[in-house]
Structure 1
Amino acid sequence: MKKIALLIGLLLALFSNAQTEKKSLLWKISGNGLTKESYLFGTIHIACDATLPKKVLIALDKTTQLCLELDMDDPNMQTEMMSKMMMKDGITIESLMSAEDFKIVDDFFKKESGLSLKMMNSIKPFALSAMLYPKMLDCPMQSFENELMKVAKEQKEETIGLESFSEQLAVFDAIPYQTQVDELIKSAKSDLVRDKKELKEMLELYKTEDIEAMLRYTGRSENTMTSEFKDELLNNRNKNWIDRISKIASAQPTFFGVGAAHLGGEDGVIKLLRKKGYKVEAVL
């Protein structure tokens, strides 16, 4: 009997692993009192080709609103962004760098954007890094979020957000400014070679729809912000989202689009939703 129980346990474990190892960026949410299904899609924020797969378009047809990480249609977003973009306590970029490094980064920004670092001395360093994203691609930048919003507008459906811009930017007060500056210096000194390599590899992984592999990749990134601050960037936000996703999906069938790295792992959105009682299935 013990041997049979052990074999059954092994079979269940194998089945469970097979369930979590399915490769998909699109997941169906049902059960736990939902009258209609909602969908969860893992995006990547910048890409060369953001064409939405057919299964995503079908899911968008089945839902009645779009929910992204942020409400990109919020008319107050720009004002909120400007008020939260500055570092706290009067800290400046220049105060966190040596004079030599400041000149290197300043020259780099002048070359890449035509802007002097002195004009952006109080801005959170991550925001300056984000300005460089288009330079990391060998193509015109596209966005899955923009494509999703286009479909929502065509369907005359509302776009909402899981978190406010203030909440998202607070993450970059939790990550030390010095860490952010150090990564900015590395990017400038390497002329984005490391950044381009990592983005290219992540885009290739994204095509495989392997969310667990994408999460593992972020954990071994050479970018300290990405590899060492997973709680701040991913896990804590995932936990904050679950009750919000539950409330939104209960009100009406919703298409949720969040960064693919938020989906996988024990603290990912998929497993957290399952722990709350929802059935979350890969759409293959």
Structure 2
Amino acid sequence: MKHLFLIAGLLTSLVGNSQELEKSLLWRISSNELQEPSYLYGTIHATCDAKLDENTLKALDDTQQLFLELDMDDKSMQMQMLKHMKMNDGTKLSTLLTAEEFKIVDDFLKKNMNMSAKTFDTFKPFIVSTMLLPKLLDCEFQSVESELMKVTKIQEEEILGLEKMEDQMKVFDAIPYKTQAEELLKTAKGDLSNEKDEFKKMILLYEQKDIEGLLIMMNDSDNKITSENQDILLNSRNKNWIPIIIETIKEKPTFFGVGAAHLAGEEGVINLLRVQGYTVEAVK
């Protein structure tokens, strides 16, 4: 289950809004046509402290269902993920890299995962990278999505997803496998040093509730997967979510939890909802 949170998490343009967004993770969605407000919350998929604050717990209490990027409560999710892990057309990591490069990755994965790169030879390389995420933490892995689900289950409310596992895994097919392999090789050569530095900066920005800073950090990242593919990772998915969000909030007050990088920017969820006439305001 941990890898489901990691993969969902790493699917999270420069900020295009002339008006700077407030530093907040929790946002209230309202309009004259809605009898009750819904809420939008920026999550982080791996952290040392996933505790939810009082405002967030109240928002969960005031809503009637939880939407995450994926329906993480779906018992078939793991099988769906395994079904879509492999690269298309028989592509292999061992052919995307030279024999020397593949050995570097192999030694690295044996050291950090106690598994050979041969085990993951047909896997999309970025998925292998997500499996290394716990190594960036100096603590036990925690997930904000998991905490949101715990509260929702106690409330005996439904957990749903904005997209299907198949759709999310296709994102890894849209990003060139060669680029993914090169980034995995870079990680192996640096033995996670650059990734650990970037992750610490991301955690700090998240703790500061700086959602615009998180988006800018993605744009400036040395990792080409995130810095050169924001239309695939963020923008197109944000646009796909808006009709679902609008239809849902018209039916019942709902709590939406998505990666915090999806919130800010001209093509972020907050601005896209505002363009549709909804009031989206920070909850302090």
Question: Considering the TM-score relative to the shorter chain, is it more than 0.5?
Answer: yes
Q: Is 1:163 aligned to residue 163 of structure 2?
A: yes
Q: Which residue of 2 aligns with 1:226?
A: 226
Q: Which segment is superposed worse, 116-125 or 256-265?
A: 116-125
Equivalent residues in 2 for 1:1-284, closer than 5 Å: 20-31=20-31, 33-284=33-284
Does the 8 A contact of 1:32 with 1:277 survive in 2?
A: no
Larger Rg: 1
Superposition TM-score, scaled by structure 1 size: 0.92
C-alpha RMSD of the superposition: 1.1
How big is each residue's C-alpha offset from its partner over 1:26-63, in whole Å with a ceiling of 9 and x where there is no partner? 00001152221100000011001111111100100100
- Aligned amino acid, residue 120 of structure 1: F
How big is each residue's C-alpha offset from its partner over 1:245-270, in whole Å with a ceiling of 9 and x where there is no partner? 11111111110000000000000000
Return 5+ residue gaps in structure 1 as ranges.
1-15
Does the 8 A contact of 1:125 with 1:181 survive in 2?
A: yes
Superposition TM-score, scaled by structure 2 size: 0.92
The 1-side partners of 2:32 and 2:18 are apart by 22
Secondary structure at the aligned position of 2:52 is classed as coil
Identity %: 56
Bigger helix fraction: 1
Does the 8 A contact of 2:81 with 2:166 survive in 1?
A: yes
How big is each residue's C-alpha offset from its partner over 1:146-187, in whole Å with a ceiling of 9 and x where there is no partner? 000000011111100000001111111000000100110011
- Aligned amino acid, residue 78 of structure 2: Q
Secondary structure at the aligned position of 1:21 is classed as coil
Does the 8 A contact of 1:46 with 1:143 survive in 2?
A: yes
Return 5+ residue gaps in structure 2 as ranges.
1-16
The 2-side partners of 1:236 and 1:119 are apart by 32
Secondary structure at the aligned position of 1:266 is classed as coil
Does the 8 A contact of 1:105 with 1:117 survive in 2?
A: yes
Question: Runs of 4 or more off by more than 4 Å in structure 1?
Answer: none
The 1-side partners of 2:18 and 2:218 are apart by 21
Q: Which segment is superposed worse, 24-33 or 126-135?
A: 24-33
Q: CA deviation at 1:21?
A: 2.6
- Aligned amino acid, residue 101 of structure 1: E
Q: Which residue of 2 aligns with 1:6?
A: none
Secondary structure at the aligned position of 1:67 is classed as strand
Q: Which residue of 2 aligns with 1:11?
A: none
